[in-house]
Amino acid sequence: MHKAILYILIFKEKHYIKLGTTTDINRRLKEIERDWGEVDRQSSYWFEESVKRASQIEHHLKCCLVDYRVKVTKNPGWTEFFSSESLYPARHIIENHYNYKYQQDLTTYSN
């Protein structure tokens, strides 16, 4: 089964978070930091799931958090940004609706 990482990224100097999925978190972090700024990897959250399931959960989270969406410039991934106030609801959905225990600190992730 192919695995994906569903991530909630916290930025060091911005007041929003980024939701997304990837099969290569290190490559994705480099792209995101190039386009959007430094990610606070220790404060960010992630969990691993099948590609299909991670995509379904990501879509559900984005629908639930639509009122928290922030407008940012149109670089790749611009639709995946939400105000920092959405962090608690996102974590709550992951923990209580999906029964997942997310990991914190992307510096500890290894493929």
R_g over Cα of the chain? 13
Q: Amino acid letter at 32?
A: I
Q: Tell me, what's the pLDDT at 77? A: 61
pLDDT tens-digit series, residues 4-51: 999 999 998 888 899 999 999 999 999 999 988 899 999 999 989 999
pLDDT value at residue 78: 65
Q: What's the pLDDT tens digit per position in 67-86? A: 999 887 766 666 689 999 99
What pTM was computed for the model?
Answer: 0.87
Are the C-beta atoms of 46 and 102 separated by less than 8 Å?
Answer: yes
Q: Note the pLDDT tens digit of each residue in 48-65.
A: 999 999 999 999 999 999
Question: Which has the closest alpha carbon to 83: 94, 72, 98, 73?
Answer: 72
Q: pLDDT at position 111, please?
A: 61
Q: Which residues lie below 8 Å from residue 5, measured CB to CB, with a gap of 6+? A: 21, 22, 23, 25, 46, 47, 48, 54, 109
pLDDT at residue number 39: 93
pLDDT above 90 for 96: no
